[in-house]
Amino acid sequence: MFRLIGYLFGIGTILFFIVALGVAMYVGALTRDLPDYEVLSTYEPPVTTRIHAADGTLMAEHARERRLYLPIQAIPDRVKAAFLSAEDKNFYQHNGLDYTGLVRAVITNIENYSSGKRPVGASTITQQVAKNFLLTSERSYDRKIREAVLAFRIEQAYSKDRILELYLNEIFYGLNSYGIASAALTYFNKSVNELNLQEAAYLAALPKAPSNYHPYRRTDRAITRRNWVIDRMVDNGYVKAQDAEDAKAQPLGVNPRRGGSHLFASDYFAEEVRRQIIGRYGEDALYEGGLSVRTTLDPELQIMARRALQRGLIRYDVQQGYRGPVSTVITDGDWGAAVAAVEPLRDVPEWRLAVVLEADDEKATVGLRPSRTASGKVAEDRDTVTLNGADMKWAYRIKTDNERKKVKAVSDILKPGDVVYVEEIKSDEGEAKHILRQPPEVQGALAALDPHTGRVLALVGGFSYAQSQFNRATQAMRQPGSAFKPFVYAAALDNGYSPASVVLDAPIQLVSGGELWQPKNYGGGSAGPSTLRLGIERSRNLMTVRLAKDMGMNLVAEYAERFGIYDDMLPVLAMSLGSGETTVLRMISAYAVLANGGKQIKPSLIDRIQDRYGKTIFKHEERTCDACMVTDWQNQDEPQVVDTREQVLDPMTAYQVTSMLEGVVTRGTAAGKVKLGRAAAGKTGTTNEEKDAWFVGYTPDLVAGVFIGYDTPTPMGRGSTGGALAAPIFNEFMTAALVDKRPVDFRVPPGLQLIPINRKTGMEAEPGGPDVIYESFKPGTGPADFFSVIGEEFVTGEEILNVSPQANRAIISGAGGLY
């Protein structure tokens, strides 16, 4: 008997060793090519890039995986307790595998085998880290064995806190949200530190299967799972029973955070910043690098710029008449659902879509587009308002296919089923009414910057980013027209001319490439011999062409490139009238040089960029101040900021041009349009057939430029000049931007002389006469001793461009500078 037992024991021992050897060989084969778990020590997950305004307000986020990485020390104990209770309550006790949970899972799977239920797992948090970081999601026993081996090795190499940190920052929570910090923002628009008990429990419920616990599609199931997590937290001693009951009685409270731009009116600015970051560092850095970008945007100025531009575009558009509804729908049945299907301009919240329900001669009843719930369902509200015919006189002119006709009744304008925009406005007495609106066809741009630093403070690239993402401030290449003339005059004043120099304002003919070019002043006519001041104040084309011809277009081209208006300007006379193409941002940067005393600036939308570790990798400010870094004061002098910017224009020349541009505002083409009640300078610009209207101007500490025009250059109608269209927008913006700022005069460089002259003849005059002004002269210069006129000899010119006749005709036909 004993011999039999010994025999069987021997056989069993041999079989045991054979099986053990087989298992060892099997496991060894599976784990021979395991991934290197040491990569976890240098783990850099894809992290969200965040873009902020100058005041720190979040503007936009960009990510392929929306994730913000948090160290374990920054994650509250309550949040950690929720995840441990939901996923691995023995995390801090086991060595990578939870054997009790493993046995329980095996028994459950045996019981479920016959019923065809899905197998359950018993993965610890460490095993999930191994799977998520180093393995695939394949469901197989081979993968589970590899996962278990890796879990043991990870536990030996890293602390529990490090493993939990990796887990909480890596896992997917649904709604394109990765990591606990991003999930808290995505679901509740809160930081992790602000999460309450029920919110933390809901987030802890999500990693198991986010789609199964969707807050809107699976609300009941989500609440059940959340409450289960809360109960586990009670069982594990993390939460008191009463607090748990209070938390379970609460709704989910999900408040999704919208993507894209988070700061109102910042879409054009944020998109330009996005493009610049990609251009500088590439897409991977933007969408995975976790950059922190501090921009130059002033949110208050941005809203002012948006409002001024939109109002200006609407003013012009209503003069063109009504073009018809946004869309048409069938109003039988639930008109609310029908109009809700039409997408509004999301960045124009002042306007609301509405469907016409009925209309008669005097008024129309419209149903306002209902709102939507957080889950995207159409809300129950069905509100109606009345549009009065007296408030839509502009719409009685109907424009279709470039044809206009007049009607007399509201019912001729609006038909049942028409979907239109309406805006609620209030009178000074507080009475509210709704008026008809339509998105304008004409477009434009407004940008403003600090002339001393180049920081772009506001940038609006069109009426609505939702309507068109094309940024007309940075991407639209348009002719500046007469807004370019100050740089022709700056070149002259920097090279021997003075504001009192006299140029002939008379007809001129120029022949080039067999083509005859006869530039004209806006409105025709000429004034004869006139000073440079009068020429720029009244925007005289004939004078500008003669002045440019007298000093040579090569000099003008050099200055235009020096100011950054063009990269490679053709030195042809037509270009002196602004017939080249440039952008609003380039123009305001060039005017900033005039405003700051001739210093070159680099316009920038970005102040600073930091990488995911907080290291600064870009800084716009190039000036240095070593003495600013001292830790204490020891009677040393006040620190001085070293300005390394290039001086591209004589400060005296810059002031002379500024003084002349002040005359544009007070007496010239912008007189009565720009009324800031403080020192201001600027220049209008209008191109041939009024296809482009400009105004660029500045005060001592703020520069702004406005452009108006159709995206496909189209005549805007006689009188649609820079003074009529763009200058009022500039005035509205600057008035609002400077309302709380103390008035400051333009800074006069030392050494300039102010001498009374006759502003028509340029000769010295006795003070007090009707045409006498004080003109600024550089040291060693002054009014002419005798009357001489520049340009008298130019009656018929020679060739002005040594290129093909076809190219020459294109430049001449595009010559702007009409007003």
Active site residues: 87, 482
CA atoms of 468 and 406, how far apart (whole Å)? 30
| DSSP H helices in 406-517 | 410-413, 485-493
Q: Which long-range contacts (CB under 8 A, 24 or more apart) does 333-342 make?
A: 335/367, 335/382, 336/367, 336/369, 336/370, 336/378, 336/381, 336/382, 337/378, 339/367, 339/369, 339/370, 339/419, 340/369, 340/370, 340/372, 340/378, 342/369, 342/419
Structure-token match 């002349």, residue found: 660
Assign 13 to helix, strand or coil: helix
In angstroms, the CA 434 to CA 436 distance is: 7
Phi-psi region of 159 (alpha: psi -120 to 50; beta: other; left: phi over 0): beta
Nearest-CA neighbor of 752 among 771, 780, 729, 788?
780
Handedness of CA 450, 562, 566, 281 (dihedral sign): negative
Task: Give the Cβ contact number of residue 404 at 10 Å.
Answer: 11
Provide the 3-class DSSP secondary structure of residue 378. Answer: strand
Q: Say if residue 131 is exposed, middle or buried (CB neighbours under 10 Å; 0-12, 13-18, 19+).
A: buried
Residues comprising the chain, all counted: 819
Q: Is 567 left (phi over 0), alpha (psi -120 to 50) or beta?
A: alpha
Cβ atoms of residues 419 and 339 within 8 Å: yes
Distance in angstroms (rounded) separating the CA atoms of residues 201 and 80: 10
- How far lies 604's CA from each of 277, 278, 470, 474, in Å? 12, 15, 19, 12
The tally of CA atoms less than 13 A away on the side-chain side of residue 198 is: 18
- Identify any residues that bridge with 359 across adjacent strands, giving them in sequence order: 364
What's the rounded Cα separation, in Å, for the pair 364 and 356?
7
Contacts of 85 (CB under 8 A, 6+ apart): 204, 229, 232, 233, 235, 236, 238
